[in-house]
Amino acid sequence: MSTKIAVLCSGGGTNLQALIDAVEAGTIDGEIVRVIANASKAFALERARRHGIPALFISKKQAGCDAAFNDQILEELQKAGAQLVVLAGYLPLVGAQIVRAYEHRIINIHPALIPAFCGPGMYGHHVHEAVLRYGAKVSGATTHFVDEQVDHGGIILQKSVPVLEGDTPDTLAARVLTVEHEILPESVRLFCAGKLGVDGRRVHVL
């Protein structure tokens, strides 16, 4: 029986598209049952609708507070019967109530090699700017399970890319995004195939 997947997004949704493509190609034994965005103009919502996936915007401002906002998201996840939650370029912190309800069932993609260049404030171009400022020679992307700390849960997959002379945050971001589109669908494929085992901080590919 295929896994029911919900995807949370904040922006353009290229990682969402990579997941949709993998599901439609039969690579992932799962079904994307809901896409939720915290930004009304997130193109991810349009991507979902083009593929017939129920998509909705949930406003933190209208919810009134973080707790109510996360309660609304959790309610939607449960209504959709989601068994796995994927954060695909999702910027808000995931509420503790969601983390507890979906322990070891929330996968995030981060545009750096955790534990480097991660944690509060390290998202999007801030990450690539920090990598270049530091003078790192490699960067990359990491998928990990989500816990109640930022970018902290057990690492599933990592893939590196070189940092090249003359790189800008844009050129580095584009190179990292290419590997994000590889390791996020692969991590979801492994989860849906029952091939990820968690032992404390260690995630084993079975």
User: Which among 178, 191, 200, 193 is positioned nearest to 6, based on CA atoms?
Assistant: 191
The pLDDT of residue 192: 98
* Assigned token pair, 62: 């209208």
Location of structure tokens 């260690």: 202
Whole-model pTM above 0.85? yes
Determine the pLDDT at residue 48. 98
pLDDT along the chain (206 residues), means of 10: 96 97 98 98 97 97 96 98 97 96 98 96 95 98 95 96 98 98 98 96 95
pLDDT recorded at residue 206: 92
Tell me whether residue 154 is exposed, middle or buried, using C-beta atoms within 10 angstroms of its C-beta: 0 to 12, 13 to 18, 19 or more.
middle
Q: What is the DSSP string of 133-168?
A: HHT-SEEEEEEEE--SSTT-SPEEEEEEEEPPTT--
Q: Is 110 a catalytic residue?
A: yes
Q: Which of 51, 104, 110, 125 is catalytic?
A: 110
Q: What is the pLDDT of residue 10?
A: 97
Structure tokens of 124? 């999007």
- Contact between residue 94 and residue 87 where contact means Cβ atoms under 8 Å apart: yes
Helices and strands, number each (H, E), in the chain = 7, 9
Is residue 100 helix, strand or coil? Answer: helix
Amino acid at 180: E
Model pLDDT, residue 1: 83
How many angstroms separate the CA atoms of 89 and 15, rounded? 7
